[in-house]
Structure formats: structure tokens, C-alpha cells
């Protein structure tokens, strides 16, 4: 499909990619292949992928960890770490009592197991809509982020499996360092209303590394 607005759920960013090939994920559009002249399969190249409509959810509260375990998700040992679920889901621990679950980026059509909280002191969160999900791929992740973020995100200081909650281009963001096909990627979760602003700021920062918008085909 080539029109992101055919879907009920719409990413802020997808509208900037009209003309690309989209896949229906969770009743929303995820770009599969970028515009004609982009080279999605070059993971060596810096790229930015919009996964905003991909499913994600979260829980918060004193019993959130218990609920996560009941749902068969791993519970990272401390805040600002992430783990990988049985089906490749990313499980983030953002605070003492807050957890987010992100779809396996390589199998977005397989929605993760969401179960509404049944325990007291466990509340579902709104990260599906409150946050956009952008994924930065390529060999220059830390160098790119150094242009817009004051935290050292080099792999020695920010290894795979770590989460950083900081300011990126002057807006709050959650940055997750994980791997796709054994290569480092950064997932960046940030205010959905600022998604277009951040998308443009990130692409601008990636310009000197030949960065461009990419589709799912770059990581699958």
C-alpha cells in the first residue's frame, strides 16, 4: 500500500513518507520500503525507521513486576535496563515500579501478549499513544546522538541492554540500546506530539553519516 491514511491508526511520521510501501501493523502503517532511491538493506548505512504504530504497552505500580511475571515477561534487575522476552519483545524497566513491553521489531505482526492488570497497585500505561517509537540503525549511533544529546551513548558507557532517559534535541526521550541481527540499534521513544520534530532533527543529525529514512526491510 502507498497511502498511510488508509489505516485507522496513523503515525505522525508516516505522513511524511507517502509514496512508500507500507505494511498494516496493528491497524496502522509501518513503512516497509523507503522511497525509490533509498537503500533499505544497507544496515551499514545510518537509517531511521518509524515503528510508532507497532504495539507496546506498560504497567506501573507496586505490583507491576508481579503482573509482568504473571504475563511471562522477564523483569530487568534494576531501572534503566532492558531485557528480551520469549518472543523477542523488548522489556524495559524505566523505574522501580514501571515496565514497558515493545513488540519484537522484527516480527511486528506478532503482537505481544497484553493482559489487563488484575492486581491492585498495577496500572496499565498509555505509551502506545503518548510516545512515538523511532529506531536508529547503522554504524554511527553514538556519534549521531552526540549531536543532539548531552549523554555519552558510546557503547563503552551505554552498552547493549541499557536504557537511558534523557533529553534529545531538547525533548524528553527514552533511548534503548539493543541489537537487531547482532548489530546495535537505538530505539528512541519520545513524546508522540513531537514525533515529526524529532524525526527531522534526527535525520538532520544523521546527514553527515549518510543517514536516511528506512523501512522495516532494513531490519527484517
Partner 1 sequence: MRLAAPMGLLINRNQHVTFKFEGKQYDGYHGDNIASALLANQQWLMSRSFKYHRPRAPLTMAGHDANTLIQLGGEPNVLADRVAPSQGDIIEGQNYSGSLENDRDSILGYFGRFMPVGFYYRAFFKPYGVWEKWESVIRKKAGLGKLDLNFEPEYYDKVYLFKDVVVVGAGPAGLSAALTAADAGASVQIVDEHPILGGSLSYHRFDLEGKIADQTRSDLVAKVEAHPNIEVTLNATCNAWFADNYLPVIQGKRMYKVRAKECIVASGAFEQHVVFRNNDLPGIVVCSAVSRLMKLYAVKPGRRAVLLTGNDDAYFTALDLYEQGVEVAAIVDMRAQGGAQSVTAAVQNLGIKITLGSTVYEALATKGNKHIRGVDVRAISGQGEVDAQSNLIDCDLLCVSSGFMPSYSLLCQAGGQLSYDDETAAFNLSNLPAHLHIAGSVNGIHSLTAVIRDGERSAVDALQNLGHDVASIEPIECDKQTNFDWPIFKHPKGKDFVDFDEDLQVKDIINATRIGYRDIQLVKRFSTLGMGPSQGRHSALPAARLVAKSTQRTVSQTGVTTARPPYAPEKLAHIAGRIFDPVRRTAMHDRHIEMGAKMMPAGNWQRPAFYGKPEDRDKCIWAESEHVRNKVGVIDVSTLGGIELRGPDAAEFMNRMYTFAFLKQPVGKTRYAVLTNEHGVVVDDGVACRIADDHFYVTATTGGVGGVYSDMLKWNAQWRLDVDIANVTAAFSAINLAGPDSRKVLEKIASDVDLSAEGFPHLAYREGSVAGIPARLLRVGFVGELGYEIHVPTSYGEALWDAVIEAGKEHDIKPFGVETQRLLRLEKGHIIVSQDTDSMSHPGELDLGWAIARKKPFYVGGRSVDIVMARKQTRKLVGFTLPKGSAKPEEGHLVLSGDDISGNITSCEYSPTVDSIVGLAFVSIDQCEVGSKFEVRTDNNVMVNARVVKLPFYDADGKRQEL
Grid coordinates of 4: 498511510
Inter-CA distances, 47 with 8, 72, 121, 187, Å: 26, 33, 40, 12
Q: Which is nearer to partner 1, 169 or 188 (CB)?
A: 169
**Smallest distance from the beta carbon of 10 to partner 1, in angstroms?**
5
Give the SS3 label for residue 94: strand
CA 64 – CA 58 distance, rounded (Å):
9
Q: Grid coordinates in use for 18?
A: 507517502
Query: Mask of contacts with partner 1, 159-188, x by CB under 8 A?
Result: ----------xxx-----------------
Told to check if 154 binds partner 1 by CB under 8 A, we report yes
Binding to partner 1 by CB under 8 A, coded x per residue (else -) over 78-97, reads --------------------
Check binding of 119 to partner 1 (CB under 8 A): no
Grid coordinates representing 155 are: 557503547
Grid cell at residue 117: 492488570
Q: How do 47-50 and 212-214 pair as beta strands?
A: parallel
Which CB sits closer to partner 1, 2 or 157?
Answer: 157
Element housing 81 (H / E): strand 81-84
What's the min distance (Å) between Cβ of 204 and partner 1? 7
Q: Three-class SS string for 41-63?
A: CCCCCCEEEECCCCCEEEEECCC
Touching partner 1, residues 52-71 (CB under 8 A): 52-53, 60-61
Applying CB under 8 A, the residues found at the interface with partner 1 are 5, 7-12, 15, 28, 52-53, 60-61, 120-121, 123, 125-126, 128-131, 143, 146-150, 152, 154, 157, 169-171, 191-194, 196-197, 201, 204
Amino acid at each position: 500500500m502507498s497511502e498511510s491514511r488508509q489505516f485507522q491508526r496513523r503515525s505522525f511520521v508516516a505522513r511524511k513518507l507517502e509514496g512508500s510501501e507500507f505494511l498494516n501493523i496493528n491497524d496502522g502503517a509501518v513503512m516497509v520500503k523507503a522511497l525509490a532511491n533509498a537503500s533499505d538493506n544497507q544496515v551499514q548505512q545510518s537509517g531511521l525507521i518509524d515503528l510508532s504504530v507497532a504495539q507496546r504497552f506498560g504497567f506501573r505500580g507496586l505490583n507491576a513486576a508481579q503482573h509482568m511475571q504473571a504475563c511471562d515477561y522477564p523483569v530487568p534487575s534494576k531501572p534503566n535496563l532492558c531485557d528480551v522476552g520469549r518472543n523477542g519483545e523488548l522489556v524495559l524497566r524505566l523505574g522501580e515500579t514501571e515496565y514497558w513491553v515493545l513488540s519484537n521489531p522484527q516480527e511486528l505482526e506478532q503482537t505481544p501478549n497484553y493482559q489487563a492488570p488484575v492486581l491492585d497497585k498495577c496500572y496499565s500505561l498509555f505509551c502506545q499513544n503518548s510516545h512515538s517509537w523511532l529506531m536508529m540503525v547503522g554504524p554511527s549511533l553514538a556519534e549521531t546522538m552526540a549531536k543532539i544529546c548531552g549523554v555519552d551513548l558510546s557503547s563503552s558507557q551505554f552498552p547493549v541492554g541499557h536504557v537511558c532517559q534523557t533529553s534529545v534535541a531538547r525533548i524528553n526521550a527514552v533511548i534503548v540500546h539493543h541489537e537487531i541481527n547482532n548489530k546495535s540499534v537505538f530505539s528512541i521513544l519520545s513524546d508522540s506530539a513531537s514525533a515529526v520534530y524529532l524525526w527531522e532533527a534526527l535525520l538532520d543529525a544523521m546527514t553527515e553519516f549518510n543517514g536516511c529514512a528506512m523501512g522495516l526491510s532494513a531490519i527484517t
